[in-house]
Amino acid sequence: MVKIAFQGERGAFSEDAATKLFGENIDFLPCIQLRDVFRAVSEDKVRFGVVPLENSQAGSINETYDLLLTYPLHIFAEVILRVSHYLMALPGEKLDDIKTIYSHPQALAQCEGFLSKLKVEIVPSYDTAGSAKMIAEKGLGNCAAIASRRAAALYGLEILASEIETSVINYTRFVAISKEKAKRAEQNKTSLVFAAEHKPGSLYRILGIFATKNINLTKLESRPSRTKPWEYVFYADFEGHLDSEVCQEALKELQREATFIKILGSYPQAT
| Choice among 13, 22, 38, 174 that is catalytic | 174
| Choice among 128, 172, 194, 238 that is catalytic | 172
* 238 catalytic residue (yes or no): no
* 28 catalytic residue (yes or no): no
The 3-state secondary structure of the chain reads CEEEEEECCCCCHHHHHHHHHHCCCEEEEEECCHHHHHHHHHCCCCCEEEEEEEECCCEECHHHHHHHHHCCCEEEEEEEEECCCEEEECCCCCHHHCCEEEECHHHHHHCHHHHCCCCCEEEECCCHHHHHHHHHHHCCCCEEEEECHHHHHHHCCEEEECCCCCCCCCEEEEEEEECCCCCCCCCEEEEEEEEECCCCCHHHHHHHHHHHCCCCEEEEEEEECCCCCCCEEEEEEEECCCCCHHHHHHHHHHHHHEEEEEEEEEEECCC
- Catalytic residue numbers? 172, 174
